[in-house]
Amino acid sequence: MTISPKGLIYTDYDQLLADPNVDGVYISLPNAFHLPLANRAMRAGKHVLCEKPLGMNAAEVREAMAVSKETGKILIEASWNRWHPRTKRIQEIVQSGKLGKLTRIRTAFTYDGLDQSNIRLDPTIGGGILYDLGPYSTVAPLWLTGFPEVTEMEVQTVWHPGGVDETTRVNYKVGGVPAETVTSANIPVSLWMIVEGTKGSVRTGGSDSFVSLNNPSTLEIEIQGKKKVERFDACDPYQLMADAFVRHVRGKKDWVMPLEESLRFAELFDAAFALMGKPN
């Protein structure tokens, strides 16, 4: 069921996509259904904000990019943490060169106790922890460093009995910098993003690196022996993302995550899944 701007309730997607009063849609379906509905929506004249991952592989993302170009409709992957002021600040610090030559990047997004019936573990609809949490932590070294070449990837996986990954460690080099990442649904909650360089380091405070929502947050910075903590007011990155999407649709200049970044993420996942193989 979906609700229109006028409060009308739709019982199927055809009704929604046929409504000329709807300019854009937000797609939050299970992973495997993102691309088909995104393409339908764009061809029906709607702009699209689509949950991550945008597609199940790089080929699907390229297809969606082609439909966006063909129709002239905006397509944005809803990686909401990218709109958080703290996220933007850590990227600014890393890319400013203040940390010197980067030596290591570490990220983690894990939780424990996922119900075995949860759709995130259903292989028929795009389940698996790398698809679920990887768009946050696994890809962070890419956008932090400006998307240089990825090399020397290694993958370690713990398989869920249903046939999807429930813990995945993906280590790789990004522009020659070692990146160590972990996602899991069976490790106690742990979220961090740490970047180290020859002149200093920066890390997210607390355990909310990718999920800071309506709570204050911190960034711990050490440069040439001097330490400081930057504090960020509580905010709703979902709202910031949605507002940016609407402004972009209306032709106003605002940062939105480029589709080229979504493609690089998908290519990274493709490489990881190829090394992951299949469960025994």
pLDDT digits (tens, 9 = 90+) for 147-185: 999 999 999 999 998 899 999 999 999 999 999 999 999
SS3 226: strand
Residue 136: inside a domain? yes
148 and 46, same domain (yes or no):
no
Residue 255: inside a domain? no
68 and 99, same domain (yes or no):
no
Residue 211: inside a domain? yes
Separation between Cα atoms, residue 19 and residue 139, nearest integer Å: 36
- Which residues contact residue 29 at a Cβ distance below 8 angstroms, ignoring those fewer than 6 apart? 37, 51
Residue 3 pLDDT > 70: no
Range of the domain at 115: 82-240+264-276
186 and 100, same domain (yes or no):
yes
37 and 134, same domain (yes or no):
no
Q: Which residue has the higher pLDDT, 210 or 280?
A: 210
Contact 107, 141 (CB under 8 A): yes
Q: Give the model confidence (pLDDT) of 219-236 as tens digits.
A: 999 999 999 999 999 999
pTM over 0.85: yes
Which of 6, 46, 52, 69 is catalytic? The answer is: 52
Residue 168, H or E segment: strand 165-174
Longest dimension (CA), the chain: 60
87 and 217, same domain (yes or no):
yes
225 and 102, same domain (yes or no):
yes
92 and 60, same domain (yes or no):
no
Q: What is the CATH number of the domain that holds 22?
A: 3.40.50.720
Q: What is the pLDDT of residue 162?
A: 86
48 and 100, same domain (yes or no):
no
Which tokens is 95 given? 């890319």
Number of domains in the chain: 2
Q: What is the pLDDT of residue 102?
A: 98
33 and 163, same domain (yes or no):
no
Which tokens is 175 given? 């522009």
199 is catalytic: no
